[in-house]
Structure 1
Amino acid sequence: MNKPFACILLLVIIMLFVNCREKKENAVIFVKEEPVKEDAVKAWLHKAENYKKSDKYLMVFYNYYDQKIKAKKYLNAAEILDIACVYLADSYDFNDRFLAKVKEFDSKYREKVPALKTTFVDAYLANYYFDKYNLKKACQYFKKITTLEPYDYNSCYNIARAYYDLSYIYYIMGKQNLSLLANQKSFEYFTKINNPKGLAFVYSNYANIYTAIGDKKRAIENADKAIQAYKKIDNTYNVYIGLINKISIYEYLKDERERPLIDSVYQAFTESKDESKILKIKLFDFKIENLIHENKLSEAKKIIDDLKPIVEDIDSDDLTQEYKLTSALYEIKKNPNYSNFEDFKKALPTLISNQQYEKVNMVYGLLQKNAIQNKDYKDALNYESKKKIIADSIGNIITRIKTVELEKKYQTEKKVQQLKIKEQTITNKNTTIALLGATLIGILFISFAFNLIQKQKKLRLEKQNAQLYTKQLLEKTEEERKRIASDLHDSVSHELLSLKNSLEQKAEITNQKIDAIINDIRSISRNLHPVMFDKIGLKESINQMVERAESVNDFMVTAEIDYHSVLSSSDELQIYRIVQEALSNIIKYADAIAAKISITENENSIIIEIKDNGKGFNVEETLNSKSSFGLHNIIERSRAIGGHANITSNTNGTIITIEIKKA
């Protein structure tokens, strides 16, 4: 085969491969796999009815799980723990023994199983902390799941569910713009696996968000969408959850349709003989409030007494608090002088600090009703003012505007994506014509091959010279920074300290000014050069950077560093600057929830990866713009130490990868 023909054939093959790959990427969808045949015990544990009806469920689980751990079959142990975690979390069952098992697996065996097979640990712990009103910690665990990339149906579902749960927590905390962003991410991942139940979850969250910002029409529309979606998949439990959500929306918006809906849903539930304890507590709480409103106190008392053993059996902080609030409403209606509110008042600071605004609003409402009943209108007005503050926290006007803007932006992006898909369809139909054109271009390309090779040799030499110059320039810059930092820290700062000591007897204002100057100088010193870098090394310096980023920006960053100081100190400093620049860009521009930094060393090279789950950007367009100094800084620093930087970005986030060949 002659060389020109071989080159043409190779070009055609490459074009076909790229075209096929583009088709695959534009149609990314994870299909649910057929369930693998399980052994008898695992199959028994997998059945939800066995968990609901059998007291021996956990005993069977513990025996089976311990056997797998003892046999060092950690993946099998993880799979069965995953099943149990789902059932217990959905049932608000956070008993100490099972929680200890989860934490033991997390600390001892988790690293022995692929990361995407262990997300259930983070999900269970997140739900546990949510039940204990620690929303910040719950957020951290859900965010850990969202930093991963799915590779199959189940992992995509778990990531989608984590975004959904994160969206709900942000809604409770009053961060409706973040809630909307997380919910849109959840929608994207559920769409990839075409999961109707997941999409119904998303509609429920949209209903909550629009309720918080006062968009009554959209709130009800999305609540109805969720209910209809559950009905289509014949999911009775979630149909009731959807109806409960709709009742809550009516209650929040003070809609007169609330009470008739409570009565009709309560009647349907009692006639169905449904045994779900969670649904019973939530629906019966609403029914008790209706009966109290209608002054049917004996009927309300009967339901309160019926619910008590169920609430005690579940032992959920969240559900117990709601039950106590409902019981207190009954007590103040029955006895105007009832004043046993100490537990609620003690709980308020914790609820407020954990941003559990819904529960705070319920407590204030209870205290306000008691004040009105006792004709204490001053206290009633005070509680009304506090309720207004909480309502503003849940959906303030700035958040409302941001949320509406985000919704418009998202709908526009969806339309753009649809247009791209149509364009891609047309492109695929014209593939044959494109390949013929590519063949002709290939023939022309071959005729210029020799000249191109010569030019490449020349460019390679120029690149080497430029690389040497850039490296020298950067090293000189860092040396100068280090010298200035040292002068500021060791000379000027010490002189000011001496000045402060000599003026101790003078006005306090002088000391304050001197302290401010000293702090400014130390700050300049740290910015010019990381003072402890030469002593603690690259790994610890990056860990300190990560800690500062998290504490200052309320932003989750993780670092995994497997590096053993094989580069020179000056090259390590360039790596530190690259990571610093990348992290700064993420915080400023990415709108990301979390980021991950990893440095891995193998036999031939060192790989640095900085990854976020932000909104992404057009790499080529940004690099060609006037506002891309940060990205060019990363690329040039990489070149200066013999590395190559690769930047990829899409709507799922941005990845910066740098490979440095060892000498």
Structure 2
Amino acid sequence: MSKTNYLFHAFLIAIFLLVFSCQKNETNEVLFQKEEPVKEDATKAWLHKVEHYKKDKNYLSVFHNYYNDKIKEKKYLEAAEVLDFACVYLADSYDFNDQFMTKVKEFDTRYRHKVPELKTTFVDAYLANYYFDKYNLKKACEYFKKITTLEPDDYNSCYNIARAYYDLSYIYYIMGKQNLSLLANQKSFEYFSKIDNPKGLAFVYSNYANIYTAIGDKKRAIQNADKAIQAYKKIDNTYNVYIGLINKISIYEYLKDKRERPLIDSVYQAFISSNDESKILKIKIFDFKAENLIHENRLLEAKKILNDLKPVVEEIDSDDLTQEYKLTSALYEIKKNPNYSNFADIKKTLPTLISNQQYEKVNMLYGVLQNSAIQNKDYKTALAYEAQKKIIADSIGSIITRVKTVELEKKYQTEKKAQELKIKEQTITNKNTTIALLCASLIGILLINFAFNLKQKQKKLKLEKENTQLYTKQLLEKTEEERKRIASDLHDSVSHELLSLKNSFEEKTEITSQKIDAIINDIRSISRNLHPIMFDKIGLKESINQMTERAESVNNFMVTAEIDYHRVLSSSDELQIYRIVQEALSNIIKYADAIAAKISITENENSIIIEIKDNGKGFNVEETLNSKSSFGLHNIIERSRAIGGQANITSNTNGTIITIDIKKAQ
């Protein structure tokens, strides 16, 4: 992934956050309230409690009996509800046993169509989690996408759709598709906001932390990780507090932050002290602790933790967690014996992981192989693995591996030079040849590096310009949508209410009628200013003519308009031209002391030229643009850029001319 793509991802985040902040009162209002739980029969209520699944070995036996009874009674909705409970609990515990999977697939093919679609999304979620655990991310995406095509009709369905978007965002993050990850995470935020679910919003913060980590924004990554942890603490969700801390450790590890190891130690101690019985948490936290001990060369303690973990990992039987355990065990063996080379499982797993775009896991595997090469002082092989890591890390948006590459390259070059020195001692000719080749290589590398950096800077500048233009255009379009909504509300609602009020007076007076008429006229004027009436129907030309007529009648001011334009632009771009002319005309009336102005729009083969000029007193353009009172001029400039135009402003004592040149799309 190139540097320009990192900037693209960063700009996407900024745009979504800004648009979200502008619209959150409108689009993220709470739409679905949590319903009061319906009274359940004793067995169903027992199955509904997660602690029974965690602590009672008979849970699945009770479930199967109850579920089969409901199917026999043709009470398919009740059967679906208990299957939903079990799917959630088993997926969260990485439990994908064959017997239960058979039950899920049987329901999917034979009974699912008998239950409302929004009540059966748990099937897709369970299967998606199964394929995720098996490293088949493409298949997992397909199942989560099926859920996101639905529209919610109550609290639970809205939660399920929000959760599917969250999971989809996490998968895209792992696959290196940060732009899609960002879009899915934003949708997740919107749906969780509709039900005001703080746990769900904490999920979203965790994903934002991952995305910021991938594009190298360390500060925002850690900020969002902390937001997620604080949100979990507020709802007293200890399990997810630990998950949030584990995510923060991963961020520190990914960014090579020195705070990683102290955080591992503190989380480990807290978990031990809490007597928490979660096997998933134990595997993840103990795995990090074992890595810490291995790095500190405390191998006996590390081995004890790995031995404690082994039966738990085997019991859970998750491909994902098993692979992580194997990686840590391999690190231990490498540290214990630098010549350790039993990497058959790791190398066998790599092709599958790469084909399924499990880039984060691939990077970890390459890290183990590289660590072994470094232990053996085989810097050439370590550098080769680092190159592979860089390719994979670029796929998930990493910019950190460049530093590591330089370090390994230095070690490799040092070793290479040492070998060359031995050769030089044997023959003067070889010595001189080697030095010459080395110098030529270094010069070539410097030249290539210079050319590459120059090209990247040019790309960066171009991308910044394009993204700024895109941001401005989207922001202006959202503003126009809001103006249009408010204008419509004023015209259709408030004006009609005032007319009704006027007609409802039993004793009408001329003063009362005049005042109400004045208010109605003021509201209509405000509505027109917010959004031009009938703009989409009558077009740019007639809308500007109406604007000039109003300006002349209200301000005792002469304005002419000459428009030779044939609607080649989109309606949204035409609206921006209307706003530019409106802003310019407003400035003339307020500040220019002019008695006349002229507006002209001319269309030629390659461009559209807009010119607004007046005979006012003029002003210092540069000084005004640099002052704090130049919002109107900057508004004109930015709107012009947003539709692909270039604004030029000239002014002297004879008046002011604003010219905008808009290139036609080829």
TM range (shorter): 0.5 to 0.7
Distance 2:86 2:176 in 1: 32
CA distance 1:158–1:428, change in 2 (3 Å) = farther
Q: 1:307 aligns with which of 306, 309, 316?
A: 309
Q: Are 1:34 and 2:96 matched, yes or no?
A: no
Residue 435 of structure 1 is matched in structure 2 by 497
1:425, CA displacement in angstroms? Answer: 12
What is aligned with 1:223?
A: 225
Q: How does 1:217-366 map to 2 (within 5 A)?
A: 217-366=219-368
Instruction: Work out whether residues 351 and 360 of structure 1, in 8 Å CA contact, stay in contact via their aligned partners in 2.
Output: yes
Distance (whole Å) between structure 2 residues aligned to residue 134 and residue 363 of structure 1: 17
Residues 26 and 421 in structure 1, CA contact (< 8 A), matched pair in contact too: no
The residue aligned with 1:126 is: 128
Change in 2 beyond 3 A, CA 1:79/1:325: same
Q: What's 1:589 paired with?
A: none
The share of aligned pairs that are identical, in percent, is 75
Alignment of 1:23-102 (within 5 A): 29-102=31-104
Say which SS state the counterpart of residue 247 (structure 1) adopts: helix
The structure whose Rg is larger is 2
Query: Do the aligned residues in 1 keep the contact of 2:28 with 2:193 (CA within 8 Å)?
Result: no
Q: In 2, Cα distance between the equivalents of 1:296 and 1:414?
A: 59
One-letter identity of the residue aligned with 2:179: N
How does the TM-score come out when normalised to structure 2?
0.60
1:375 aligned partner? 377
CA apart distance, 1:93? 0.3
Query: 159-168 or 369-378, which moves further after superposition?
Result: 369-378
Alignment of 1:510-521 (within 5 A): none
1:387-536 superposed matches below 5 A: 387-395=389-397, 420=482, 431=493, 433-437=495-499
Q: Is the 8 A contact 2:30 2:196 kept in 1?
A: no
Q: Is the 8 A contact 2:299 2:332 kept in 1?
A: yes
Amino acid at match of 1:225: K
Residue 260 of structure 1, CA deviation: 0.4
1:377 offset after TM fit, Å? 1.4
- Conserved 8 A contact 1:622-1:628: no
Contact 1:177 1:406 in 2 (8 A): no
1:536-585 CA deviation, whole Å, 9 max, x = no partner?
Answer: xxxxxxxxxxxxxxxxxxxxxxxxxxxxxxxxxxxxxxxxxxxxxxxxxx
Tell me the TM-score normalized by structure 1: 0.60
Deviation at 1:434, TM superposition (A): 3.0
Give, in whole Å, the separation in 1 of the partners of 2:78 and 2:270: 41
Deviations 1:148-192 (A, max 9, x none): 001110000000000000000000000000000000000000000
SS in 2 for 1:194: coil
The CA distance in 2 between the partners of 1:307 and 1:156, in whole Å, is 37
Provide the residue aligned with 2:204 in structure 1. Answer: 202
Q: Which amino acid aligns with 1:435?
A: E
Given the alignment of the two structures, is residue 159 of structure 1 paired with residue 161 of structure 2, yes or no?
yes
Find the aligned partners of 1:45 and 1:275 in 2 and give their Cα distance: 20
Contact 2:294 2:335 in 1 (8 A): yes
In the alignment, the residues of structure 2 paired with residue 281 and residue 623 of structure 1 have an alpha-carbon distance, to the nearest angstrom, of 67
The unaligned stretches of length 5 or more in structure 2 are 1-24, 400-455, 504-534, 540-566, 572-666
- Structure 1: runs of 5+ lacking an equivalent: 1-22, 442-619, 630-663
1:225-246 deviations in Å (ceiling 9; x for gaps): 0000000000000000000000
1:260-288: CA deviation from partner (whole Å, max 9, x where unpaired): 00000100010000000000000011000
Residue 331 of structure 2 aligns with an amino acid whose one-letter code is L
The residue number in structure 2 matching 1:546 is: none
Structure 1 window deviating more from structure 2 (430-439 vs 306-315): it is 430-439
Mapped partners of 1:280, 1:287: distance in 2? 10
**SS at 2:94 equivalent:** coil
Q: Per the alignment, do residues 418 and 153 of structure 1 end up closer, same or farther by CA in structure 2, a change over 3 Å counting? A: farther
Counterparts in 2 of 1:285 and 1:25: CA distance versus 1, 3 Å: closer
TM-superposed CA distance for 1:25, in Å, is 9.4
Query: Is this contact kept in 1: 2:124–2:147, CA < 8 A?
Result: yes
Deviations 1:107-138 (A, max 9, x none): 11111111100000000000000000000000
Aligned to 1:459: none
Aligned counterparts of 2:209 and 2:293: Cα–Cα separation in 1: 27
1:262–1:287 Cα contact (<8 Å) kept: yes
Q: CA deviation at 1:375?
A: 1.5
**Equivalence for 1:142:** 144
Whole-angstrom CA distance in 2 between matches of 1:46 and 1:353:
38
Are the structure 2 counterparts of residues 627 and 195 from structure 1 closer, same or farther at C-alpha, using a change threshold of 3 Å?
Answer: same
Return the alpha-carbon distance in structure 2 between the equivalents of residues 366 and 407 of structure 1: 44
Distance 1:438 1:396, change over 3 A: farther
CA distance in 2, matches of 1:77, 1:420: 46
Q: Residues 371 and 309 of structure 1: is their aligned pair in 2 closer, same or farther, counting only changes over 3 Å?
A: same
Question: 1:623 and 1:376, CA in 2 relative to 1: closer, same or farther beyond 3 A?
Answer: farther
For 1:333 and 1:312, locate their aligned partners in 2 and report how far apart those are by CA, in whole Å.
24
1:423-453 deviations in Å (ceiling 9; x for gaps): 8699589956532337999xxxxxxxxxxxx
- Over aligned residues, Cα RMSD in angstroms? 3.5
Aligned length: 429
Q: What letter corresponds to residue 156 of structure 2 in structure 1?
A: N
Measure, in 1, the Cα distance between the counterparts of 2:468 and 2:200.
Answer: 21
Q: Deviations over 1:44-67 (max 9, x none)?
A: 001111000000000000000000
1:60–1:371 Cα change, 3 Å: same
**What letter matches 1:180 in structure 2?**
L
| Cα offsets for 1:619-655 (capped at 9, x unmatched) | x9699875789xxxxxxxxxxxxxxxxxxxxxxxxxx
- The residue type paired with residue 101 of structure 1 is K
Contact 2:225/2:244 (8 A) holds in 1:
yes
Corresponding residue SS for 1:189: helix
Q: Does 1:107 align with 2:169?
A: no
